[in-house]
Amino acid sequence: MKKRTTTMIALLCGALIALGGATAAAAVQLKPVYPQCLRLETAILKPQQAPQFSWGLDAGGRDGAAQTAYQIMVTTPAGETVWDSGEVSSADTLDVPYSGPALAPASQFDWQVRVFDEKDKPSDWTEPQRFFTGLDDWKAQWITSPEIVAIAEEDAKRLYEEDHPARMLRTEFDLSKPVKTATLYITSLGNYRGWINGKLVSEDRLAPSATQYGYRVFYRAYDVTELLQEGSNALAVLLGDGSLTRSRVTSFGADFITRLLAQIEIEYADGSRDSVGTGSDWRSMMEKSPWQAADFDLGGIYDARLFDPAWSTAGFEDGGWRQAVVSPPVEGTRVDPETVQPCRPNHVLKPVAEYEPRPGVYVFDFGEQFTGVARFTVTLPEGHEIRLRHAQVLARDKTLDVWNYRGNSKNETVYVSAGGKSERFEGLPFHFNGSRYVEISGLPSREALEDLEVIHFADAMRAASTLDTSVPTLDGLWEIIRRAYSGNLKSGIVMDCVGRNERAPWLGDCYTSHIGVIDYFFDSIAHHRKRMQDIQDQVAYRPGKTHPGQLGMRAPSFGGAPSPFYSDAASIVSKGTQVFYDDPFILEFVYGEGPGQVRALMDFQLEQNGLSGKFTKTEPPYAFWAPWLDRKMTLPPGSGQDRWNSGDFPSRWFQRDKMPSSASQEAYGTFWWSVSAQAVADMARYLGKESEAAEYEAMAERSRQSLIRDFDNGDGTWDYHDQPIYTYGLITGAAQGELRDVFLKNLLQTVKSYGGHISGGTDVFFNTLIALSRNGYPDLAWFMAMRPEMPSFGYMIESGATAMWERFDLYHPEWGLLRNFTTADMNHVGLNSVAKWIVEDVIGLRPDPAQPGFKHFFIRPWTGSEPKEIDFQFDSPRGPIRVAWERNGDQVTLNATVPPNCSATVQWPNGKEETLGSGTHTLTGDAPLKQGEGVEGGLDEIRRYFQENPYDPEKDTNRYFEIKEAERAKEMAEAVAVTATEFTPVIFWDMETVTAEGHVGNSLSGGSGAELLLEGVVLVDDPERGKVLSFNGENALATAEGAWQGNKAVRIEMMVKNEAPAGQSVLLGVPFVFSLNKVAGFAKFQFNSVQRPDRRNNDIGIPVLQTGEWRTITAEFDPANGIARIECDGQVATLEIDRKDILRPRTQDIILGNKLNAFFKGQIDDIRISVMD
């Protein structure tokens, strides 16, 4: 970055003088910028919904500029006025309500705004911006192809286990008079692309956006007036699986049948109306579709020989096609207007390098990680096949390394030539690759390939900022964050990663921590509103099955297990959106007048964890994914230094069971409970609900106090004595006064203990940087983040990252991909939250929650040694903001631009404050650098200290193993205090007692456990035993309602007739407690105990005869007698165990026939379970 801050101002002033008064006046005229309806560039209103209009203001930095009034005009596309607000005296620019006549449904409108400045001078009108009113009457019917219906009827699993050609659907219709406007309303279960009269309707990709498919689906609206013609017309739609049938979304609630719903609303010039929609008269082709396979993840096959461009035009001969089938979706599926921006191409990349690692195999490097598809021109013989594969990284020999792709390692796109000259392939629809490298094989010669490029596409959200600094590493970090967001923002969700076949809408470190982060890169308010709807829908689609506050870890969700930090997205993101965008509607939506979602979340937390404020529930229904990616690194801290660069070091360092965690699950959960409850308290207060605000404030305070009280080790340390717990105390304000000093001192000690590296996981590392920066240690925070050794962001940049990595240690310049973890995507958003520290601390821009939407904001100059210069320009919701500063010794010269109608407060480190009005300001103030020794010193001293004191495992003060051993000893002591000498029968399921409803009751009077409920299991008559349970091998499951309490010992007895000697299946199991398995001819008994928590290393097994005869299996876990044993027809296998051991207590249902790698196939009778209390 050049030293240009003050120079640019001088040049600008000179230019204005030279150009003359009139030109200067024009340059600073107040004008509205980035106008939006419903906070979208193109909105679709629900029936009877009134529009709301928003815009920012820009006066070119002119001092004192202000909007005093506005005027909004709504017209028809033909220019007929529908509503003219007239000049309205108001400074409002966000969510300004429409107050004109009711808008007709299924119509198009344009709107414009102009504003009046402080001298009542009007601006120019903005360009007309289109919005649509939604359909209030769907005449169209949901349709699909007959082949898909046949597959679903034969075996529904084939819908998501097999590839199928994309379905081609079409119809023709006549128009006999001139058209005034025509709007296509279209949606699908699956993804679609549409053509009218041979012309593509839109460049939208992966449409519609991902939703809770069995509960809600979005439709889009397109102006197709210019695509229609008098006479014959054709509407053609390509329908593919998209994300509907992927394994990661298979419990969104849909039935996996791809369907199409489309309707063209036509208004003629004479005022009459007509519609054309999907129905049984449509024609369908699947067998001869050129898109023979188009898998969302893996790719597919395009056979150009089958393509006839006339298929989307009128007059096409479709006699060989079949009739489409009317196929309604799951009952209750809602069809609503799309609420987020579409996914569209936004730039094109060309290769920067080319390799031929093997003869005829060409590898192209596009210079950066991209998400999209490759397109090219080829000249090939008819029927000739070429193959494309993708990867994020190359092996040393320049071949693709797809190890980190997991399920996508088999990605392949096949192009089959039609035999023409210069055939153009635009890539597969409904599919994309997250990669940097493209391999092409099968070419008869290199010359046969021309014009290779990749199309990158992402949700079309307005870019919001630019950053230019004096430190290239920081500029590079900002760019890889931006690129990761752009790559993973697809189809209305933030995918966690785009390389491997996960691509899931995780909350937590892929969303919860990104509010007030992603928003500095892209205008994300519509995205947040949609995701809050997703969160509510993931609860609504399983009504009555779970607590309404049990929010799953993903939204849309394919599972209901809640988790701290992840579930808290409902409160934290919605509150953050209100602060960032001045959006009260999102608070009203999630808080609500009835049983609001965030209040239900707080009720659930309280119900599960009690009144103490401590998060105690670390077992189901909760699932814990965190602390995630904290100390569990493939490479030791400091990698990149010469001392770690021995070729065999990763294998010697990486031992999963010897890698400590940096924070306990209880402390992690308690921290996020406090943050979440505080967010809900703030919402309630904003909405004027003071008594409820006090209730949630008290809840947050209890959790803050719990962090101090319940994790105190009694020796001046807390929790595992690592960076997270002290960060939690400092960030929440739980540590006050002298205790704050203790927490800060301990945080510094743990930083030193870990060699000056980040030890916290993705939920907390950015908060550690913030805590250090705001408590007098900005240089230490900078050093930890930007140093060139792993784990750090500097290491990523030094190692050539072009998008954010999933983890700090996934790649080494010498060794390539490191293979100890499969979570190793090179385009992932989890670590992007570091941008919160960059903006709010290094740049120094912070929103003011009391005046949201940057009506007022703070600028706090950075007191670190680096960078020396920064220029940050940000398009806030109210208008452009600029924070640019230059350091000279202990002084900082600040240049700031404040939007019209806004103000800012500069908070200098010495306590001085300066208030700025709208306009451009230049200030100079004191921001002295810190002096001292070691980590107490400046950046040079910190570097010197850690060069002399690198990470040494022997000096690591983390107390994870020590505390875990103490907890285990306590459990053992409690177990010794429990005495028992014999088993007590508690359950006997006698199949002769089956009820009329097909339930098997517990025959023991007073026994625990409820009826055995049968799902896919049938009762059959066996000649030897009478009624027995018969499991067919698939989808056969029997469960006992109620809870298993966990006991000192357990005995299981059952009669088994095995009919599937191969494979692995659970005969009976209580997850996380014990299970009785049949494994390829062996009965195996596993248990999860206090002393031996790893079930995989704690099992015994004996042969089970495979003759199809009935056998008795008995399994016991019996610490009282010091033995675990399993017996089958007199054959016994035993394992000696400690007499002090006990089963690890859990609350779980009892399950028979549960799936591991394959379901149990065979028969079971007379199940007895006894326990030792």
Spatial distance between the Cα atoms of 398 and 353, rounded to a whole number of angstroms:
11
Spatial distance between the Cα atoms of 55 and 406, rounded to a whole number of angstroms:
44
Please answer whether residues 261 and 187 qualify as being in contact, where contact means their C-beta atoms are separated by less than 8 angstroms.
yes
Spatial distance between the Cα atoms of 528 and 583, rounded to a whole number of angstroms:
11
Please answer whether residues 974 and 1161 qualify as being in contact, where contact means their C-beta atoms are separated by less than 8 angstroms.
no
Spatial distance between the Cα atoms of 722 and 727, rounded to a whole number of angstroms:
9
Q: What is the pLDDT of residue 3?
A: 39
Is the bond into 32 cis (omega within 30 degrees of 0)?
Answer: no
Burial of residue 143, with CB atoms counted within 10 A of its CB: 0-12 exposed, 13-18 middle, 19 or more buried: buried
CA-to-CA dists, residue 859 to 294, 475, 579, 852, angstroms: 50, 20, 16, 15
Spatial distance between the Cα atoms of 1020 and 1001, rounded to a whole number of angstroms:
17
CA-to-CA dists, residue 294 to 240, 301, 389, 412, 688, angstroms: 7, 7, 14, 10, 52
The torsion angles phi and psi of 51, rounded to 5 degrees, stand at -75, 160
Cα end-to-end distance, the chain, whole Å: 71
Spatial distance between the Cα atoms of 305 and 317, rounded to a whole number of angstroms:
17
CA-to-CA dists, residue 259 to 16, 133, 208, 989, angstroms: 60, 23, 12, 45
Spatial distance between the Cα atoms of 988 and 985, rounded to a whole number of angstroms:
8
Closest by Cα among 581, 1173, 588, 506 to 830: 506
pTM, 2 dp: 0.86
Helix residue spans in 403-507 (DSSP H): 472-488
Spatial distance between the Cα atoms of 454 and 436, rounded to a whole number of angstroms:
10
Spatial distance between the Cα atoms of 499 and 1151, rounded to a whole number of angstroms:
36
Closest by Cα among 884, 1163, 1137 to 1028: 1163
Spatial distance between the Cα atoms of 97 and 425, rounded to a whole number of angstroms:
46
Please answer whether residues 1161 and 1059 qualify as being in contact, where contact means their C-beta atoms are separated by less than 8 angstroms.
yes
Ranges of the chain with pLDDT below 50: 2-26, 247, 249-251, 641-652, 978-980, 1007, 1093-1096
Burial of residue 923, with CB atoms counted within 10 A of its CB: 0-12 exposed, 13-18 middle, 19 or more buried: middle
Residues in contact with 252: Cβ distance below 8 Å, sequence separation at least 6, in sequence order: 211, 212, 213, 214, 215, 541, 556, 557, 558
- Ramachandran assignment for 1046, one of left (phi > 0), alpha (psi -120 to 50 degrees), beta (any other): left
- DSSP state, residue 160: H
Helix residue spans in 156-201 (DSSP H): 158-161
Beta-strand pair 216-223/334-337: parallel
Q: What is the pLDDT of residue 886?
A: 96
User: Helix, strand or coil for residue 987?
Assistant: strand
Spatial distance between the Cα atoms of 739 and 177, rounded to a whole number of angstroms:
80
CA-to-CA dists, residue 389 to 300, 372, 385, 688, 815, angstroms: 11, 13, 13, 57, 22
Q: What is the pLDDT of residue 238?
A: 98
C-beta atoms surrounding 1155 within 10 Å: 15
Q: What is the pLDDT of residue 157?
A: 82
Question: What domains does the chain contain, in order, with CATH numbers?
Answer: 5-133 (2.60.40.10), 143-292+307-337 (2.60.120.260), 343-458 (2.60.120.260), 465-632+660-843 (1.50.10.10), 848-927 (2.60.420.10), 984-1172 (2.60.120.200)
Spatial distance between the Cα atoms of 92 and 107, rounded to a whole number of angstroms:
27
CA-to-CA dists, residue 935 to 407, 942, 944, angstroms: 45, 5, 10
Q: What is the pLDDT of residue 25?
A: 39
Spatial distance between the Cα atoms of 181 and 228, rounded to a whole number of angstroms:
10
Closest by Cα among 345, 78, 76, 336 to 221: 336
Q: What is the pLDDT of residue 1007?
A: 47
Spatial distance between the Cα atoms of 784 and 793, rounded to a whole number of angstroms:
9
In one-letter notation, the amino acid at residue 779 is D
Tokens of 945: 């200290």
* 430-465 residues labelled b (16+ CB within 10 A) or e (exposed): bbbbbbbbbbbebbeeeebbeebebbbbbbbbeebb
Spatial distance between the Cα atoms of 631 and 656, rounded to a whole number of angstroms:
11
The torsion angles phi and psi of 295, rounded to 5 degrees, stand at -75, 135
- DSSP state, residue 303: E
Spatial distance between the Cα atoms of 161 and 246, rounded to a whole number of angstroms:
9
Angle of helix 939-948 relative to helix 778-786, nearest 10 degrees, comes to 60
Dmax of the chain from CA atoms? 106
Please answer whether residues 919 and 65 qualify as being in contact, where contact means their C-beta atoms are separated by less than 8 angstroms.
yes
Spatial distance between the Cα atoms of 1064 and 363, rounded to a whole number of angstroms:
41
Helix residue spans in 710-824 (DSSP H): 723-732, 737-753, 765-774, 778-786, 793-798
Residues in contact with 618: Cβ distance below 8 Å, sequence separation at least 6, in sequence order: 624, 665, 666, 669
Q: What is the pLDDT of residue 557?
A: 79
Tokens of 499: 């390389």
Tokens of 1081: 């001819």
Tokens of 519: 């928003």
Spatial distance between the Cα atoms of 722 and 745, rounded to a whole number of angstroms:
12
Length of the chain: 1173
Spatial distance between the Cα atoms of 92 and 84, rounded to a whole number of angstroms:
17
